[in-house]
Amino acid sequence: MLISVTVKGEYVDMIANPEVSNVFRIRAKIVSEIRKTMESFGFIEVDTPVLQEAAGGAEARPFVTYHNSLKRDLFLRIATELHLKRMLVGGIEKVFEIGRIFRNEGISTRHNPEFTTIEMYEAYSDYESMINMAEEIVTRCALVVHRKLSINYQGTEIDLQRPWRRETMHNLVKEATGIDFIAFGNDVDAAKEARKAILGNGEESKDNLLIQACISVGHVLNEVFETIVEPTLLQPTFVLDYPIEISPLAKPHRRSAGLTERFELFICGRELANAFSELTDPMDQRARLEGQIKQHNNKRAILNSKSSEHNRENDDYSYEVSLDEDFLTALEYGMPPASGMGLGIDRLVMLITNSASIRDVIAFPVLKVQQ
């Protein structure tokens, strides 16, 4: 049987292998450089709650705990986003937090149940500002460690010279598959057929069960992107203009209907950052979050109907999703136009230290062991 434990012998590894402890020294230098960068742009660092009444700001299975005095469940945060946006409502126009995030999901070379991110929000800006911030943070960290912008990661030379490539999700998928998902309009069935032709998964696979639950072309497009395109994005690439259906917190695109002003940054085939021009309309935000809940519940119902083939306890959709009503109330008070970004510090350290696994850059990771 596989169980998860927090490794106890990391300190022994540090004694026996100086290169292990050196990674953590470099990590400290990277975090320090990130703080210096944020402060140089006039951002203020704050702390937001780890225990929350509603786990929001992302779609992920939360850890649940029980507060004895309050006699109710609380959740370890899955993102810092919604509380940082409350700071914008309160009048702090440039804000950031470096902190731990907790997601009760799988363990792999890229995922640990607790990990560290920086999230930042800037009033009176859009996602172009966050593109600049992403380049600033990564290049400054690379220079403080390597003193150059060409680094080797697992045998691949990565060129961090700016500016980095920018391309839309639609164009990248079309380039890789020859299929233009824009042509499907709102015909989700046609999109699913195209997806089936591209990926060719068996009818009883979990992926196909989930694709049955997709209610929009945008969801299908995203799955094709993640499967076909994402692993190929080795050099720094900003993937722009995500479908509105998979971007519930992002502002609608000012020129392209059905899309949002959102990007994700990919380096070495993995997502390093996620950012957008922020949605500030409280009515639109409520409708989007309600749609996200509907989509989640649809996926959960389909997987639960196949419980003989799929273990509900291990399924990513077997948890409840709720609205953060206080956040929606905060938007009603008025949030200024803004942009925001979350960047994975562990993955950045992996890149800069040439570490193959996330557990190599976390001092005490959670690992699977045999029992």
Instruction: Please write the tens of the pLDDT for every residue from 37-92.
Output: 999 999 999 999 999 998 888 888 999 999 999 999 999 999 999 999 999 999 99
Q: Is 28 part of any domain?
A: yes
The predicted pLDDT at position 310 comes to 47
The predicted pLDDT at position 306 comes to 61
Q: Is 215 part of any domain?
A: no
209: pLDDT strictly greater than 70: no
The predicted pLDDT at position 15 comes to 66
The predicted pLDDT at position 315 comes to 56
**Tokens 């699913």 map to which residue?**
192
Q: What number is the average pLDDT over the span 170-190?
A: 95
Segment 317-332, tens digit of pLDDT: 678 788 899 999 999 9
The predicted pLDDT at position 211 comes to 62
Q: What number is the average pLDDT over the span 308-321?
A: 59
Q: Is 227 part of any domain?
A: no
> Which of 113-127, 177-191, 193-207, 278-292 bottoms out in mean pLDDT, i.e. has the lowest?
193-207
Q: Which domain holds residue 259?
A: 2-164+235-370
Residue 292, domain CATH:
3.30.930.10
Q: Is 60 part of any domain?
A: yes
**Which stretch, 47-56, 60-69, 128-137, 197-206, has highest mean pLDDT?**
128-137
Nearest residue to 288 via CA among 26, 42, 107, 56: 56
Segment 13-23, tens digit of pLDDT: 766 677 888 99
The predicted pLDDT at position 282 comes to 97
Total number of domains constituting the chain? 1
The predicted pLDDT at position 167 comes to 98
Q: What number is the average pLDDT over the span 88-115?
A: 94
Q: Is 320 part of any domain?
A: yes
Q: Is 158 part of any domain?
A: yes
Residue 132, C-beta contacts closer than 8 angstroms, at least 6 positions apart: none
DSSP per-residue string spanning 178-239:
S--GGGGTT-HHHHHHHHHHHH---TTSHHHHHHHT--SHHHHHHHHIIIIIGGG--S-EEE
pLDDT category at 213 given cuts 50, 70, 90 is low
Q: Is 193 part of any domain?
A: no
212: pLDDT strictly greater than 70: no
- Read off the tokens for 219: 């969801």
pTM of the model: 0.91
- Name the 3-class secondary structure at 112: coil
Q: Are strands 114-123 and 338-344 parallel, antiparallel or unpaired?
A: antiparallel
**Mean pLDDT across the chain:** 89
Q: Is 196 part of any domain?
A: no
